[in-house]
A and B are shown apart, each in its own frame.
Chain A
Amino acid sequence: MLAPWNEEGRLLAAIRGGDRSAAEELVERTYSAVYASLYRMCGDGEMASDLTQETYRKAWEALGGFDGRSQFSTWLYRIAYTTFLNAIRRPRRMMPLDDVAEMHDEAPAADDILRQREEAERLRAAVMELPDDLRFTVTAHFWGELPVGEIARMEKITGAAVRKRLRKAFSLLEASLDEEIG
């Protein structure tokens, strides 16, 4: 999937000038990436949809405070991530991916599709078990599709530190997945 995390500067300037159509265009460009990252984090289409809406609601409220030091996409991803964390801290049902498949996918499920979904769910669960900093780095990089440099800027650390976090996260994920299979 192509990440529409770029070319937002012009639209932002127009939004700041009160151009509503620019805001709509910005939504059009970014919402699927926001939805995808949230879906990967929560594994529930309905919840991802709600959280995407909530993310934009918060973004409009906070847009005045966006100083442009990071990319808008990075800033929006941070809001999405925080929204997700707040949501999972609330007592709310999170539905595993395979249950979603059972409920919504009434087409005959091929074995490999099911297996892929199970793997994806295991991986998602393992990522969610990572420590905060590693989880954020992994989700931002792989699910939010943010470059290492942007994550480093957002986290106020070096790119090398981000890569170190990713390496550590891989080790933990591998151990966690092996343990689950074994």
Chain B
Amino acid sequence: MNANRKMNLQRKLALTPVPAPPTGLAERIKHEIPEHLRFDAEAERKSLAQSLRLSLRVAASILILTIGAYAMLHVLSRINEQKPVAITTERRAPAAKESVASAPHAAEAPAPAPPPAPANVARRKIEPPTKIEPPTTRGLMQPAAAPEAMTFSPAVAAQSKAADSVAVQPTRLDAEATVSPISGRTMLRVSVASAPDAKVDVQGARQLSTDLYAIEGERATIRLRYRRDGAEKTIERTIGRADVRPWSDASQEMREAVMKAENAQR
């Protein structure tokens, strides 16, 4: 825009014709002046500040309540997460939990030793992760007659490793499940001790490495077949959602296996 046109426009804007205000307008406006014109600006300001302060207090209270509720929920959920599920099978009787693997084999296999106790029931215990129970209470290191045990706790697994050096070599199935922090998949680590000819079959999970599986459904079933004393035996265990422990509670071996598998997948 050149200077002349700009000036012309400015002139037009400034000199827009305006008629004189209508007669009586001033009187009408004056007539509407309120009767009480005393304005206490200080009081107005104080009342404004007061209402502002009140609003701020209300807002702060709401904020504090919200944060408090959120923090409480967070803490509660953390507490719930930190309660691991430890599953131990004690002195699992061959008749109850072990079964002769398949029908043809069943016919050929010699009869297993009779169950030592009538109630050979797998027991679930909920215990804090740091608590290490003595091996004797777990029955992990039982003599060959009823040697199979399955643990779900890293602590128990560590115990059993130590116990492996003892003369008795029980067949043991260790399984541990956790959620991978990288892919979010539920990982299952299965390890077998003292069963050189053991065969592990995991249903409902995809094998990622030698001992690591990714659970694909709600649960996975681990079946361990091995031979002892000339007979084929089976240990079967089902892993459900309740058995999955948080990553923070997973054992070092579990974490390493998961990270290795995740890296390999990348």
Chain A residues in contact with chain B, CB under 8 A? 1, 15-20, 23-24, 27-28, 31-32, 35-36, 39-40, 45, 49, 52-53, 56-57, 60, 63-67, 116-117, 119-120, 123-124, 127, 138, 142-143, 170-171, 173-174
Please list 25 pairs of residues, one from A and one from B, whose beta carbons are closer than 8 Å in the complex, sorted by A's number.
A15-B39, A16-B39, A18-B37, A18-B38, A23-B33, A24-B33, A27-B33, A32-B20, A36-B18, A36-B21, A45-B22, A49-B25, A57-B32, A60-B34, A60-B37, A64-B41, A66-B41, A67-B41, A123-B12, A123-B13, A142-B16, A143-B16, A170-B9, A170-B10, A173-B9
Nearest CB on B from A139, distance (A): 9
Nearest CB on A from B180, distance (A): 53
B1-53, CB < 8 A from A: 1, 5-6, 9-10, 12-14, 16-22, 25-26, 28-30, 32-34, 36-41, 44-45, 48
Residues of chain B contacted by A52 (CB below 8 angstroms): 21, 25, 29
**Contact status B17-A117, CB under 8 Å:** yes
**Contact status B37-A19, CB under 8 Å:** yes
Taking A39-B18, A170-B9, A173-B9 as contacts, is the C-beta distance between A56 and B41 under 8 angstroms?
no
Taking A57-B32, A64-B39 as contacts, is the C-beta distance between A49 and B16 under 8 angstroms?
no
Nearest CB on B from A135, distance (A): 12
Residues of chain B contacted by A20 (CB below 8 angstroms): 33, 37
Residues of chain B contacted by A36 (CB below 8 angstroms): 18, 21
Q: How far is the CA of A168 from the CA of B41 in the complex (A)?
A: 39
Nearest CB on A from B56, distance (A): 19
Residues of chain B contacted by A119 (CB below 8 angstroms): 12
**Contact status A53-B32, CB under 8 Å:** yes
Closest residue of chain B to A35, judged by CB?
Answer: B21
Nearest CB on B from A48, distance (A): 8
**Contact status B16-A23, CB under 8 Å:** no
Q: How far is the CA of A124 from the CA of B47 in the complex (A)?
A: 42
Residues of chain B contacted by A39 (CB below 8 angstroms): 18-19
**Contact status A28-B1, CB under 8 Å:** no
